[in-house]
């Protein structure tokens, strides 16, 4: 039987990156009655690194329970979570256009961190890795921010932007993992997959 992993993510970017690694996968998405967004709520005074690691483990817990409930064939489950941090402040997905404007104004002209945690696990074992990158935005005018928000691209993305989209024109410098900033760090993911005999 061909080896594969379950990808517990709705992100098309994560699917694309996993395909780039040449790993066979099947999607393991939440049921309609699951509140996937609730898993991403930050705790009071929680620092970004602890937050992204905890949320990824919660996602893995939920996905493994989903796998068991559905009675699907056993295979490792891959989960990931990305957060954007300005200092110790976690900048999550924007609530609406006004919130996206607020977040992008905060990032304008500054360097921030993008933390992506990846977890791979079964009922018997689990492993996790974290990629931390730094991204520097040029100073954005209100008109540039509004035009980007009007494009709809910021919605559903941590930090109100997607590095692979049109905001790339305003990113002056990146230090770290480009794929990690996209949402699935290739090196760390491949290392985890190798631990389960699935890497390249």
Say if 200 falls within a structural domain.
no
Output the domain CATH number for residue 133. Answer: 3.90.950.10
Q: Is 36 inside a domain boundary?
A: yes
In whole angstroms, give the CA distance from residue 173 to residue 37: 31
Positions in the chain short of pLDDT 70: 1-2
Is residue 126 situated within a structural domain? yes
Considering the chain, what is the average pLDDT of its residues? 94
Q: What is the pLDDT of residues 15-26, one digit of tens each?
A: 999 999 999 999
Catalytic residue (choose from 31, 35, 81, 97): 81
Tokens of 77: 């489950």
CA distance 62 to 189: 20
pLDDT of 2 reads 58
Question: Is 33 labeled as catalytic in the residue annotation?
Answer: no
**Cα(171)–Cα(192) distance, rounded to whole angstroms?**
30
Domain count, the chain: 1
Let me know if residue 168 belongs to a domain.
Answer: yes
Global model pTM greater than 0.85: yes
Look up the domain containing 16 and give its range.
Answer: 5-195
What pLDDT is attached to residue 115?
98
- Per residue in 92-128, pLDDT tens? 999 999 999 999 999 999 999 999 999 999 999 999 9
């Amino acid at each position: 039987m061909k080896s594969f992993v379950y990808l517990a993510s709705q992100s098309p970017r994560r699917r694309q990156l996993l395909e780039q690694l040449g790993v066979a996968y099947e999607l393991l998405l939440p049921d309609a009655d699951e509140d996937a967004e609730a898993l991403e709520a930050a705790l009071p005074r929680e620092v970004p690194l602890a937050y992204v690691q905890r949320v990824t483990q919660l996602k893995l817990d939920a996905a493994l329970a989903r796998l068991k409930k559905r009675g699907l064939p056993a295979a490792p489950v891959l989960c990931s979570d990305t957060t954007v941090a300005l200092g110790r402040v976690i900048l999550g997905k924007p609530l609406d256009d006004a919130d996206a404007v607020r977040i992008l104004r905060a990032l304008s002209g500054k360097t921030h961190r993008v933390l992506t945690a990846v977890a791979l696990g079964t009922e018997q074992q689990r492993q996790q890795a974290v990629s931390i990158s730094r991204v520097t935005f040029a100073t954005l005018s209100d008109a540039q921010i509004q035009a980007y928000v009007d494009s709809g691209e910021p919605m559903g993305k941590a930090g109100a932007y997607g590095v692979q989209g049109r905001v790339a024109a305003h990113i002056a410098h990146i230090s770290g993992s480009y794929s990690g900033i996209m949402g699935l760090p290739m090196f760390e993911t491949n290392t985890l997959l190798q631990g389960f005999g699935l890497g390249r």
